[in-house]
């Protein structure tokens, strides 16, 4: 199963659209996880339509007032549990905060955290928790480039690839 991981769209405040190549990855993925900061109802609707409503999981970011999205969602694909959150808060405690959120919401000890907020891609382990941050899909400031990730999940195995524009 192919899962698209995106975050920090920030349309229209910092960007005008999702890059074409990234939009195509979202369209062809089996499911898309968005870690918050759509920035508008229009951006949310556009990305949801791109992914397909039934193949889309999203959480609220600090710029998503009025969208009615939860702060945390937990989903499982191909034997891999993902805990999705935005990661809102100060930079110095980001990894600890996201890892704590994963531990608080996961049903398994091997859950993977997907978060945004920093606009910088990250694939690391913190206190035994794998953390993925796909960066900003639109290169919204302060990002230096547009990025996203795709995750291939199969039989509990997870392979992650970073894509840059």
Q: What is the DSSP letter of 144?
A: S
Burial 70-83 (b: 16+ CB within 10 A, else e): eebbbeebbebbbb
What topology does CATH give the domain 2-164?
Purple Acid Phosphatase; chain A, domain 2 (3.60.21)
Q: What is the pLDDT of residue 123?
A: 98
Question: In which region does residue 24 sit, left (phi positive, over 0), alpha (psi from -120 to 50) or beta (all else)?
Answer: alpha
**What tokens appear for 54 in the block?**
């039934």
- The pTM of the full predicted model, rounded to 2 decimals, is 0.97
Instruction: Report mean pLDDT in 10-residue bins for the chain, 165 residues.
Output: 98 95 98 98 97 97 96 97 97 97 96 98 97 97 96 96 96
The two three-digit tokens of residue 28, written as one number: 């062809």
Q: Residue 100's pLDDT is what?
A: 98
Distance CA 5, CA 67 (A): 19
Question: Across the strands, what pairs with 157?
Answer: 154
pLDDT of amino acid 53 = 95
Q: 149 and 164 in contact (C-beta within 8 Å)?
A: no
């Amino acid at each position: 199963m192919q899962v698209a991981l995106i975050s920090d769209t920030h349309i229209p405040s910092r960007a005008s659209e999702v890059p074409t190549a990234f939009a195509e990855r979202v369209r062809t993925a089996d499911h898309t996880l968005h870690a918050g900061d759509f920035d508008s109802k229009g951006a949310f609707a556009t990305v949801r339509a791109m992914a397909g409503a039934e193949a889309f999981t999203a959480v609220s970011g600090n710029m998503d007032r009025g969208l009615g999205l939860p702060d945390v969602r937990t989903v499982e694909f191909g034997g891999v549990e993902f805990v999705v959150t935005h990661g809102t808060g100060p930079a110095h405690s980001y990894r600890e905060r996201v890892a704590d959120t994963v531990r608080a919401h996961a049903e398994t000890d091997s859950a993977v955290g997907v978060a945004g907020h920093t606009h910088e891609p990250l694939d690391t382990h913190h206190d035994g928790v794998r953390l993925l941050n796909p960066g900003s899909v639109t290169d919204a400031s302060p990002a230096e480039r547009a990025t996203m990730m795709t995750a291939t999940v199969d039989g509990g195995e997870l392979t992650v690839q970073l894509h840059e524009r």
